[in-house]
Amino acid sequence: MSDEREVAEAATGEDASSPPPKTEAASDPQHPAASEGAAAAAASPPLLRCLVLTGFGGYDKAGDRVMVLNRSGMWQEEVTVPSVQTFLIPEAMTFEEAAALLVNYITAYMVLFDFGNLQPGHSVLVHMAAGGVGMAAVQLCRTVENVTVFGTASASKHEALKENGVTHPIDYHTTDYVDEIKKISPKGVDIVMDPLGGSDTAKGYNLLKPMGKVVTYGMANLLTGPKRNLMALARTWWNQFSVTALQLLQANRAVCGFHLGYLDGEVELVSGVVARLLALYNQGHIKPHIDSVWPFEKVNVADAMKQMQEKKNVGKVLLVPGPEKEN
Ligand SMILES: NC(=O)c1ccc[n+]([C@@H]2O[C@H](COP(=O)([O-])OP(=O)(O)OC[C@H]3O[C@@H](n4cnc5c(N)ncnc54)[C@H](OP(=O)(O)O)[C@@H]3O)[C@@H](O)[C@H]2O)c1
């Protein structure tokens, strides 16, 4: 028997770095890290077309609602995935929440806890704090006592940041975030979450307290708008951070790199993180923040992409198969 299962998607997470789907979606390359979706192995939800269960996964009962963690190819109505990449959706969780959970929260969790060693009393700099990973990270910081969170985002998103638990929102468009943090915390911070790359990695490193860590997990500085910008590419490459082992030793700091897409062979490791995340969800400590939900049709996919390219989103942008929903 195959250990694959076929699922039909109910909602799929979208990322700014993903290209829009093509009509022959089956071979569609997607998120460079990983993509996610929520699906059901039952005929009941009207959005689903076809469901066949063939696998021996953790969840092998027809009718299970599952979320899927897959490296690519999730922008389609039906997918076949190894059952180890599926996780049972808790009863109280909607398909949309499930689609918004895996990539954002696994990334935030592993960066903060597995690399960052987040402890009570720590301070954390979260860049892109109003994005999907950023919102997840801030909620996870709240699960530890007395954590100070500096979060960068456009000023229009600061109310949402405060509601989510950011202690000090910083508008990086108008303020030098390094100066701002140094004013509040002259010694700097314990953890820098760095999805930006380029010169921001060095700034993050220099903001670290002794025993601090900068965890780099993205290169958003490469993207400055809807079109490829060669100047930004060159600038980011030129400003790439580098450090020697001797410098690290003398500074008592660590630099880590995280890419969920390259952990796809680490089933036990990732499943353990998902189990802890689902426990936090069931206890009411985390809740995916959904910016907007878009129907799975080409014209609206373009609108969904625009929402991200224009940096309007707060939280996750989702695609769903089926008719238009109120946003
Ligand atoms: N390594 C991994 O496994 C992994 C997994 C998931 C995501 N990631 C990376 O993590 C980052 C965040 O992903 P996400 O899904 O949370 O993003 P998102 O939800 O699309 O958030 C994007 C927001 O970040 C802000 N931003 C700040 N600087 C930016 C820049 N230079 N370019 C684009 N947006 C910028 C913008 O808001 P404001 O300007 O209004 O603040 C924008 O609306 C991305 O770089 C992604 O590739 C990595």
15 lines ligand 1 (CB under 6 A): yes
Given a cut of 60, whether residue 34 has pLDDT beyond it is no
Q: Distance (Å, rounded) from C-alpha 291 to C-alpha 280? A: 21
Q: Distance (Å, rounded) from C-alpha 217 to C-alpha 227? A: 22
166 lines ligand 1 (CB under 6 A): no
Tell me, what amino acid is at 200? D
Confidence of residue 15 (pLDDT cuts 50, 70, 90): low
Q: Are 39 and 7 in contact (CB under 8 A)?
A: yes
Upper half-sphere CA count for residue 324 (Cβ side, 13 Å): 8
103 lines ligand 1 (CB under 6 A): yes
pLDDT for position 3: 53
- What contacts 307, CB < 8 A, 6 or more positions away? 291, 292, 294, 313, 317
Q: Which of 128, 201, 310 to mutate to test the pocket of ligand 1 (most atoms within 8 A of CB)?
A: 128
Query: What DSSP string describes 91-137?
Result: TT--HHHHHHHHHHHHHHHIIIIIIT---TT-EEEETTTTSHHHHHH
311 lines ligand 1 (CB under 6 A): yes
pLDDT for position 270: 96
Q: Distance (Å, rounded) from C-alpha 208 to C-alpha 217? A: 17
Q: Whose CA is nearest to atom 26 of ligand 1?
A: 128
Q: Whose CA is nearest to atom 1 of ligand 1?
A: 259
197 lines ligand 1 (CB under 6 A): no
pLDDT for position 181: 98
Confidence of residue 47 (pLDDT cuts 50, 70, 90): very low
Given a cut of 60, whether residue 58 has pLDDT beyond it is no
More confident: 138 or 55: 138
| 148-152: strand order across its sheet | 168-170, 148-152, 123-126, 189-194, 208-216, 254-257
Q: Are 33 and 8 in contact (CB under 8 A)?
A: no
Given a cut of 70, whether residue 84 has pLDDT beyond it is yes
Q: 132-141 and 95-109 are packed helices; what angle lies between their axes, rounded to 10 degrees? A: 70
In three-state secondary structure terms, 222 is helix
pLDDT for position 52: 32
Sign of the Cα torsion 312, 200, 261, 24 reads positive
Q: Which residues of 271-281 are buried (b: 16+ CB within 10 A; e: fewer)?
A: eebbeebbebb
Lowest mean pLDDT across 122-126, 285-289, 302-306: 302-306
Which tens digit of pLDDT belongs to each residue from 221-250? 988 777 778 888 898 888 899 999 999 999
Q: Whose CA is nearest to atom 2 of ligand 1?
A: 259
Q: Whose CA is nearest to atom 29 of ligand 1?
A: 220
137 lines ligand 1 (CB under 6 A): no
Q: Distance (Å, rounded) from C-alpha 39 to C-alpha 74? A: 11
Given a cut of 90, whether residue 56 has pLDDT beyond it is no
Rounded to 5 degrees, what are φ and ψ at 160?
-65, -40
* pLDDT, average across residues 40-45: 41
pTM to 2 decimal places? 0.87
Per-state percent for the chain, helix, strand, coil, to nearest 5: 35, 25, 45
* pLDDT, average across residues 274-283: 97
CA 56 to ligand 1 centroid distance, Å: 36
271 lines ligand 1 (CB under 6 A): no
Which tens digit of pLDDT belongs to each residue from 292-313? 998 877 677 888 888 888 889 9
151 lines ligand 1 (CB under 6 A): no
